[in-house]
């Protein structure tokens, strides 16, 4: 199987120990030759320095590093400043997002939607960056309707996005439907499925509730039935997610983007299965 369009996501570590662990994980994952490593960005700029530091390390190690940039809570001036820092660091690709402000955070800032951020990046920096945006085959939780969400995705692409990465999902049909409907709107950019390995039942349920990803009933019941048996959860999760990835790639997905959660093991297990090793 062709793994040359596989990419891997990290979040910026909060402590020196976390940074050391991430270096070790990254060294292992780099052995698979991912297309790029991306690094998330806390809404309101909360992880800005950590994102930049991590991306700098990735670039210094000779890999492609793509910082995420979320605009909610930011101003034109603050985003301009971040873009300058990215340019100076040698960044050539960005994942552009709206972000979610933590409750209690002050104003929403000067950007309402990711489409406005993409428009701003293009106006400020031309073609300096390859821009990726987020897509939601199972519909963004705040969307007024699936149709509205699709139109908003199209708006981001028309504003200048080159490609998209999806929120994670476990229903391949949701992705194929989304692709079909996007094509009908004339959207033909690559949309790479975001893949969340399954390793921990409680964590998976919590994340999925927050981001609107559906865990199929049979998967949920099986995972719950394993209780604290982490080895069985991981083995079953690996089977389920490998089958999902195989189906997506066979159906024309242009690559895969792994949410590594800063761990080498789960992504490596999937990668090796997919590569037939
Ligand atoms: P948008 O595309 O702006 O959409 C947000 C909502 O607004 C949707 O419901 C959409 O339908 C609606 N909408 C859009 N435009 C309009 C309009 N003109 N009028 C009315 N409604 C509209 N979050 C972070 O904070 N940091 C990260 O690093 C990060 N990385 C991510 C990476 C990926 C691949 C994905 C899938 C998500 C990531 N997120 C990240 C989470 C993301 O910020 C949230 O899902 C957020 O709620 C939406 O961001 P967006 O860029 O998709 O927003």
Ligand 1: does its nearest atom lie under 6 Å from the Cβ of 93? no
194 with 164: CB under 8 angstroms?
A: no
> Which atom of ligand 1 lies closest to the CA of 156?
2
Q: Tens digits of per-residue pLDDT, 249-264?
A: 999 999 999 999 999 9
Q: Whose CA is nearest to atom 13 of ligand 1?
A: 152
CA dist 118 and 236 (Å) reads 39
| Cα separations in angstroms, 184 against 150, 173, 181, 187, 249 | 11, 17, 5, 7, 21
Q: Whose CA is nearest to atom 36 of ligand 1?
A: 167
Interface ipTM above 0.85: yes
Mind listing the domains of the chain with CATH numbers?
Answer: 6-275 (3.20.20.220)
Instruction: Determine the Cα angle at 61 with ends 60 and 62, to 5°.
Output: 90
- Measured in Å, residue 153 CA sits from the centre of ligand 1 at 9
Banded pLDDT at 277 (limits 50, 70, 90): confident
Banded pLDDT at 106 (limits 50, 70, 90): low
Banded pLDDT at 38 (limits 50, 70, 90): very high
Candidate from 54, 73, 98 with most ligand 1 atoms within 8 A of CB, to mutate: 98
CB-neighbour burial class of residue 142 (10 A; exposed 0-12, middle 13-18, buried 19+): exposed
- Measured in Å, residue 99 CA sits from the centre of ligand 1 at 6
Q: Is the pTM of this model over 0.90?
A: yes
Of all residues in the chain, the percent with pLDDT exceeding 90 is 93
CA dist 58 and 50 (Å) reads 12
pLDDT score of 130: 98
pLDDT score of 203: 95
Q: Tens digits of per-residue pLDDT, 136-184?
A: 999 999 999 999 999 999 999 999 999 999 999 999 999 999 999 999 9
At 134, list the tokens. Answer: 């987020």
Ligand 1: does its nearest atom lie under 6 Å from the Cβ of 191? no
Residue 17 designated active-site: no
Candidate from 140, 163, 187 with most ligand 1 atoms within 8 A of CB, to mutate: 140
Q: Tens digits of per-residue pLDDT, 39-95?
A: 999 987 778 999 999 999 999 999 999 999 999 999 999 999 999 999 999 999 999
CA dist 79 and 85 (Å) reads 10
Nearest CA to 256 among 234, 275, 276, 237?
A: 275
Residue range 8-37: average pLDDT? 97
Ligand 1: does its nearest atom lie under 6 Å from the Cβ of 270? no
Residue range 121-129: average pLDDT? 98
| Cα separations in angstroms, 79 against 127, 175, 228, 248 | 16, 31, 44, 35
- Measured in Å, residue 97 CA sits from the centre of ligand 1 at 5
Candidate from 11, 41, 117, 152 with most ligand 1 atoms within 8 A of CB, to mutate: 152
CA dist 162 and 28 (Å) reads 29
Give strand ranges (E) for the chain.
Answer: 6-10, 37-39, 65-70, 93-97, 130-135, 163-168, 191-195, 256-259
| Cα separations in angstroms, 167 against 137, 202, 212, 232, 248 | 7, 19, 9, 25, 14
160 with 121: CB under 8 angstroms?
A: yes
Banded pLDDT at 128 (limits 50, 70, 90): very high
- Measured in Å, residue 230 CA sits from the centre of ligand 1 at 32
At 128, list the tokens. Answer: 């300096």
Q: Tens digits of per-residue pLDDT, 178-237?
A: 999 999 999 999 999 999 999 999 999 999 999 999 999 999 999 999 999 999 999 999
pLDDT score of 177: 98
> Which atom of ligand 1 lies closest to the CA of 166?
36
Banded pLDDT at 104 (limits 50, 70, 90): low
């Amino acid at each position: 199987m062709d793994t040359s369009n596989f990419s891997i996501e990290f979040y910026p570590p909060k402590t020196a120990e976390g940074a050391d662990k991430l270096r070790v994980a990254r060294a292992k994952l780099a052995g698979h030759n991912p297309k790029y490593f991306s690094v998330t960005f806390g809404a309101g700029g909360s992880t800005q320095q950590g994102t930049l530091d991590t991306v700098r390390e990735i670039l210094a190690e000779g890999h492609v590093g793509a910082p995420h940039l979320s605009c909610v809570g930011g101003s034109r001036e603050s985003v301009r400043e971040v873009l300058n820092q990215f340019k100076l660091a040698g960044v050539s690709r960005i994942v552009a997002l709206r972000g979610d402000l933590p409750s209690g955070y002050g104003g929403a800032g000067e950007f309402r939607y990711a489409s406005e951020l993409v428009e701003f990046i293009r106006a400020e920096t031309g073609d300096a960056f390859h821009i990726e945006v987020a897509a939601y085959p199972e519909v963004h939780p705040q969307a007024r309707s699936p149709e509205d969400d699709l139109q908003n995705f199209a708006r981001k692409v028309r504003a200048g996005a080159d490609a998209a990465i999806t929120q994670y999902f476990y229903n391949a049909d949701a992705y194929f439907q989304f692709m079909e409907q996007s094509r009908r709107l004339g959207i033909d950019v690559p949309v790479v499925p975001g893949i969340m390995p399954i390793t921990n039942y409680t964590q998976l349920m919590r994340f999925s509730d927050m981001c609107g990803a559906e865990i199929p009933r049979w998967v949920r019941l099986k995972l719950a039935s394993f209780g604290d048996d982490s080895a069985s959860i991981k083995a079953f999760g690996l089977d389920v997610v490998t089958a999902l990835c195989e189906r997506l790639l066979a159906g024309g997905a242009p690559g895969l983007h792994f949410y590594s959660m800063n761990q080498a093991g789960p992504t490596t297990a999937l990668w090796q299965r997919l590569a037939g090793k």
